Amino acid sequence: MANLTTVTRISQEKHPRNISKHLNYGTAGFRSRATELDHILYRMGVLAALRSKSKDGDTIGVMITASHNPEEDNGVKLIDPLGEMLESSWEKHATCLANAGDEEFQVVLSEIVETFKIDMNCKSSVAIGMDTRASSPGLNTAVVDGVKSVDGLCFDYGTITTPQLHYMVRCINTRNAYGMATIEGYCNKLSKALKNIWQNQGERKVYKPHIIVDCANGVGAKRLKDIAERFDKILSIEIRNAGEGKLNYRCGADYVKVNQRGPEGIDCIEGQKYASFDGDADRIVFYYTDKDNIFHLLDGDKVATLIASYLIGLIRKCGLELNLGIVQTAYANGNSTAYIQDELKVPVACVCTGVKHLHRKALEFEIGVYFEANGHGTILFSDSALSKIESSCSSSSNESEKLSANELRTFVDLVNQTVGDSISDMLIVETILRDKDWDVADWDKSYRNLANRLLVVKVNDRSVFETTNAERTVIKPTGLQKAIDDHVKLFPNGRSFVRPSGTEDVVRIYAESDTQENADQLALAVAKSTYDLAGGTGNLPTL
């Protein structure tokens, strides 16, 4: 039987704590400089195996990635049995274990075992994946050591996208009912669904089956290639930033969204459709340049509304009653929210940043579409939705309703319901554009975004920030919200908020207004107040 003294000895001998800095299990697990993470990865290997034991041996996932962060960073997040994010009640235990001194480690570990009444004799297994960072293989070894120290079994998937690992975990725990737990199984499931839907759509006049994809020099490139090869004749996917350059450097979804311009080194040709993944391929944004050389970004808000409008139409055609809702965060463009309420007429909820919050809220709908503006998102189909769709497929007497129900049932297989997935989301968007026979510019016309700006401010201690109202109101530092309100009043359609990042050592500022100049001025004014009232360090942000 695994014994905690051995676990502790290995920890002290092979993976001692080498930093004193406190790290939190934040928006997306632990993130920091890769050199500070070895002991944390070992400990998360142990914790994942304990969580597996607490779930009667169900497989838990450990993904080694810092996603959109710079190459020098790395991180880790845990994945629960159905491919969802780690249950929030375990996050504080993850934080305690990660920050315990070497000599306190065993005590914290015993507390976890006691709190959750973990049977150390129970079997455990952990699926491990990593992105392409140079530091990832070393950290992978630390996770494996952690899992093995409690006699756990490891499924090592090597370099894999974050959403693919979420998918694998769900497949393993559903005994392959969700799909086969291999890259081949993932590609088969998605490509088969796409081809099935497309073959019933007939010829198209406007839709162009060609997309150029910036993979941020990350793991998405290799994994996108696996599936792109299967669409040879019907959809041409050109892969750029496949690893020849530095990860996430002046490319990728985060760069494109924040800077509102294409990645460096890719000339955006007029009318051509482009997309950018982030470093671990769980976000996607689309863009194009028009005839006046103006750059147009189609972010997570535009993806969510496109998906919702397609699903609403399809549900109607099936003659079904399904409660569909959209979940956004404070970063959602004000005009996207207005479009959802006024045009699509579906319920919309706003929650805190972080996929885990959106996912949880989306579960409240029969069909929940959730997207962060930064391109993170997916669609959740509840059991009740699935059974209504299924019975419409089998028992509807109306042929056209039956056909639509079949399309909806097939569409479900195109979706990675465990978490936002750049590859799956890209295929979903292509499928819907083809269904509507739209070009990327037609899609863009659905509504016009309010001009917006994102900035970051460095402060001495971002933990002094406290927010409420789904991060739209800042409570601390005192006086900052009043300053924001005063600035906002001066700008037409003005809106702004400030929140501490959960993945980087910065505070984020968002502002929107009627013109780009006004959005920029508002963002700069709020950044200055934040800097002054919250102990800003370094230079004030500029545009």
Query: For the chain, percent helix, then strand, then coil, each to nearest 5?
Result: 45, 20, 35
Q: How far is the CB of 84 from ligand G16 (least distance, A)?
A: 13
Is the separation of the CB atoms in 329 and 470 below 8 Å? yes
Residue 501 touches ligand G16, criterion: CB under 6 A: yes
If the CB atoms of residues 93 and 283 are measured against ligand G16, the closer one turns out to be 283
For residue 157, the tally of other CB atoms under 10 A from its CB is 20
C-alpha–C-alpha distance, residues 283 and 249, integer Å: 16
Q: Is the peptide bond before 500 cis (omega within 30 degrees of 0)?
A: no
503 is in an annotated binding site: yes
Of 38, 301, 366, 372, the one binding ligand G16 (CB under 6 A) is: 372
Report if residue 282 touches ligand G16, rule: CB under 6 A.
yes
Q: Are 434 and 308 in contact (CB under 8 A)?
A: no
Phi, psi for 475 (deg, rounded to 5) = -90, -40
Q: How far is the CB of 500 from ligand G16 (least distance, A)?
A: 8
Span interacting with ligand G16, options 263-271, 275-283, 424-432, 439-447, rule CB under 6 A: 275-283
Q: How many angstroms separate the CA atoms of 327 and 362, rounded?
A: 6
Which 373-402 residues touch ligand G16, going by CB under 6 A?
374, 376
| Contact flag: residue 355 with ligand G16 (CB under 6 A) | yes
Choosing from 68, 93, 223, 388, the residue that interacts with ligand G16 (CB under 6 A) is 68
Three-state DSSP class for residue 367: strand
374 annotated to a ligand binding site: yes
Strand order in the sheet with 367-371: 348-351, 324-329, 367-371, 377-381
Candidates 153-161, 460-468, 500-508, 511-519; binding stretch for ligand G16 (CB under 6 A): 500-508
The residue from 11, 67, 422, 424 that is catalytic is 67
Closer residue to ligand G16 in complex, CB, 152/354: 354
- The DSSP H or E segment spanning 115 is helix 105-115
Which structure tokens are listed for 27?
């928006």
- Complex with ligand G16: residue 82 or 456, whichever CB lies closer: 456
Told to judge if 67 belongs to the known catalytic residues of this protein, a careful annotator would answer yes
Annotated binding residue 501? yes
User: In the set 278, 366, 430, 444, which binds ligand G16 (CB under 6 A)?
Assistant: 278
Determine if 131 is a binding residue for ligand G16 (CB under 6 A).
Answer: no
Residue 133 as a binder of ligand G16 (CB under 6 A): the answer is: no
Distances (CA, A) of 317 to 67, 142, 410, 457: 39, 52, 15, 49
Joined together, the tokens standing for residue 343 give 């045009």
Which sequence positions are flagged as catalytic?
A: 67
Question: Which residue ranges make up the annotated binding site?
Answer: 67, 278, 280, 282, 372-374, 499-503, 508
Residues of the shown chain interacting with ligand G16 in the complex, contacts defined by CB under 6 A = 27-28, 67-68, 278, 282-283, 353-355, 372, 374, 376, 501-504, 508
